[in-house]
Amino acid sequence: MKGQILVEMIIAAGVVMLGMLAVVQLSTRSLSGSGFTQRQATALSYTNRTVNWLKSEKNVDWDTFVAKLAGGGEYCITDPPSWVQAPCSVFIGAKGSFPGYTGKFVMSVYNSDVSRIKTDIYLQWDETNMTPRSQQSVIFTRY
């Protein structure tokens, strides 16, 4: 009997340890997933801020806005927003910048109609074992 109780206690301790290991693993995955979601929300925020800036640029002067197509129409997302032509580099760590994010927007005439400019906005960032992207398309009209 004494040997049997010892074996039962060892088996019970093993089962408890497996349960605790499973809880720790689930907690780690949950924290990792919430970090990814937070970075994804940050990317969306930067993309929306770029759209709002482009709207204000369009409203200031449509002809100047359309003239930006002449340079190829591909620009970097910067902080603060400005007309910096591609290629774009990673923005790292400085206050108010996009740590680890690379972004650009590409402007083109929509369906051969110069009164409509399509803008595709791309933002990517580094994650463990992958490079996720956020993409948004907007059509700006003259009026």
* Gap between the Cα atoms of 119 and 6, Å rounded: 71
Q: How many domains does the chain have?
A: 1
* Gap between the Cα atoms of 72 and 82, Å rounded: 16
pLDDT for 90 = 61
pLDDT for 33 = 59
Domain interval for residue 46: 2-141
Please tell me whether the overall predicted TM-score, pTM, comes out greater than 0.85 for this model: no
pLDDT for 119 = 95
pLDDT for 139 = 95
* Gap between the Cα atoms of 51 and 67, Å rounded: 18
Query: How confident is the prediction for the chain on average, in pLDDT?
Result: 82
pLDDT < 50 stretches in the chain: 93-96
